[in-house]
């Protein structure tokens, strides 16, 4: 009855009054819809902004941790290198100060452990010095570790064409290697480097020294250099 009464009242109105009522109703509905859409958009945008802010903060923290780790790694590795270079003879055969050389090796180890988490040239520098000083100290107890990481140097040396990395690999294999095939491979690399042009004087002396080990080995049979 109520709906019928309202319908009758509406039909009794003039065309202008009907239009005004319909326009007013549609305007109210439009305003309500706009408010709903605006509210959804506002809270949605706030959620997006919060998500972006969290992502930026997390990314910034990660980059800062990475930079800090790299700086600490490079500092330790460079300090180890500085100490190590003043604790060995010119041909890297003997330690002039074994205690300081062990300190240098420890610093290079710390530097490498940090730098390998970020990668890059600093990692290879630290590893190369770590293995070089370890070979001079004749660390036979770490044979497995040294050989494993020397193979990483070989792969990097071949990929990047870095003779000093290959020479360190060969040194570790000739000092600590037990597999004849791998020692033969190291001697082959040494011979190739010996005839290579453009080696630095230090690299040339190292290649000649390692070649002499290969010659001694060939003359006396399998064995490790003293």
pLDDT digits (tens, 9 = 90+) for 15-60: 555 455 555 566 766 767 776 676 666 666 666 656 666 666 666 7
Closest by CA position to 148, among listed 120, 176, 121: 176
pLDDT digits (tens, 9 = 90+) for 120-132: 889 999 999 999 9
Closest by CA position to 93, among listed 183, 157, 174: 174
| Rounded mean pLDDT, 155-170 | 96
pLDDT digits (tens, 9 = 90+) for 131-152: 999 999 999 999 999 999 999 9
Contact 135, 171 (CB under 8 A): yes
Tell me the average pLDDT of the chain: 83
What does the pLDDT read at residue 67? 82
Q: How many other CB atoms sit within 10 Å of the CB of residue 125?
A: 20
pTM: 0.71
């Amino acid at each position: 009855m109520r709906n019928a009464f309202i319908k009758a009242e509406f039909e009794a109105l003039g065309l202008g009054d009907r239009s005004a009522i319909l326009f007013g109703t549609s305007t109210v509905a439009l305003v309500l819809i706009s408010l709903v859409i605006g509210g959804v958009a506002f809270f949605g945008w706030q959620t997006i902004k919060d998500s972006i802010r969290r992502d930026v903060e997390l990314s910034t923290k990660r980059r800062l941790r990475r930079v800090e780790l790299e700086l600490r790694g490079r500092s330790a590795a460079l300090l180890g290198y500085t100490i190590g270079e003043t604790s060995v003879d010119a041909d890297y055969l003997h330690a002039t100060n074994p205690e300081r050389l062990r300190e240098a090796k420890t610093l290079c180890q710390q530097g490498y452990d940090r730098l390998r988490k970020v990668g890059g040239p600093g990692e290879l520098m630290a590893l190369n010095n770590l293995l070089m000083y370890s070979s001079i100290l004749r660390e036979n107890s770490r044979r497995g570790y040294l050989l494993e990481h020397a193979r990483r140097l070989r792969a990097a040396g071949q990929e990047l064409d870095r003779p000093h990395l290959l020479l360190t690999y060969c040194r570790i294999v000739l000092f600590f290697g037990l597999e004849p095939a791998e020692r033969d491979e190291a001697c082959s690399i040494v011979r190739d480097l010996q005839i290579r042009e453009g080696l630095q004087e230090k690299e040339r002396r190292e290649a000649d020294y390692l070649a002499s080990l290969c010659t001694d080995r060939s003359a006396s049979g399998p064995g490790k250099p003293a």
